[in-house]
A and B are shown apart, each in its own frame.
Chain A
Amino acid sequence: MKLLTELNRGLVGENPVLRLMIGLCPALAVSTSAINAIGMGAATSFVLIFSNLVVAAIRKFVPDQIRIPIFIIIISTFVTIIDYVMQAYTPELHKSLGVFIPLIVVNCIILGRAEAFAYKNPVLNSVFDGIGMSLGFTMALLSIGSVREILGAGSLFGYPLFNQLAAATVMILPPGAFITIGFLMALLNKVENRVQ
């Protein structure tokens, strides 16, 4: 039961992007299409889950003063792995995500969870926390990406939905990302207010 709470926290209550406002850069930059959003979500999830696992496993041997450099080394190891794996197996996706793959290393979600959760909790809980946070991140990315792709390119996952000429190109340009996330947050505020 406890594990389910760990899972749930990342999805709704402490959703990293829409609630805590961290991990914003990749969320806005690569969410031009649903496919990119899922690719970025998967890469970040891999790093987050494994860094949580390793940090929780070694937490008893890590001296307090130098924990941050140690976390960063662990995270950058996994980022380098996923960077090269994606370059080898999904070169096109790797190209469209560009500099944002190596930048996963400074995604505040990952260092934040290592410091706030994995460093203080057992391995299994930390892995579940990582899965929950990853799902929350991927869902936020997917919802922004889908809205932008539908409105901006008239398609979803690359399948055309309506006449492309009717699409508002500004939605896949940078301003579209800011507008979409602004309205999503306002919507979340409104829904939550009604629930209470």
Chain B
Amino acid sequence: MSELLGIFFAAFLINNILLIRFIALCSFFGVSTKLDTSIGMSSAVIFVMTVSSAISWIAYNTVLAPLHLEFLRTAVFILTIASLVQLEELYLKKAIPALYRAMGIYLPLITTNCAILAVAFLAIDYKYNFIQSMVYSLGVSGGYSLAIILFAYVRERTALAPIPKWFQGYPIAFITAALMSLAFLGFTRMFGL
């Protein structure tokens, strides 16, 4: 149990996927200008990431590894994720049209959200079993949501603050991210990990 908690917190805070590992930054800067879009993106990521890492774990360990087809993993994983995203898009369009409109272009772009694919690869590289890889993907997507929602709060304020002209827009966003990343570095060695 404590091992699972360790995996969760290591993924959630210490190796935060956005601020420490630098994965999925396009969406981090893209949707974080408003709080509601970043909440929508986070929920999409949590859902897609958990389901897709389960499916890709099963695909790798029951089909690819026994048949020695490991070299096909890139193609297999990306196709799994692409079809899942299509499914979620259909579901959201029907069930929650307001959220679907709010997320606009970023929902299909979740296919190229590297976090989803990275978690599938990393869970295999770390040789996690099924339960561990589920906990790991929950930790990663939770950390993604935490970072992007906090960042959206800050960006809503910097949008109104008097900032030198050259730094307006993306440059100040990157510097904000640098400060947040510095704060997350403080979690290193926490829980003895």
Contacts and interface: CB of A to CB of B under 8 A. Distances in A.
The judgment on whether A and B are partners is yes
Interface stretch (B4-12, B45-53, B73-81, B129-137): B73-81
Interface residues of A, number: 41
Interface string A75-90: 0110110011000000
B65 interface: no
Interface of B: 19-26, 29-30, 71-75, 78-79, 82, 109, 111-114, 117-118, 121-122, 125, 165-167, 170-175, 177-179, 181-182, 184-185
B178 A21 contact: no
Given A24-B26, A170-B182, A178 B117 contact: no
A28 B171 contact: no
A93 interface: no
Interface of A: 21-22, 24-25, 28-29, 68-69, 72-73, 76-77, 79-80, 83-84, 99, 102-103, 105-108, 111, 170, 173-179, 181-183, 185-187, 189-190, 193
B22 A185 contact: no
A105 B19 contact: no
Contacts of A102: 73-74, 117, 121
Describe A's contact surface by its main secondary structure.
Answer: helix
A72 B82 contact: yes
Contact of A83 (B29, B74, B167, B184): B74
A83 B122 CA distance: 15
Nearest to A18: B170
Given A173-B185, A175-B178, A178-B177, A69 B26 contact: no
A102 B25 CA distance: 17
Nearest to A20: B26
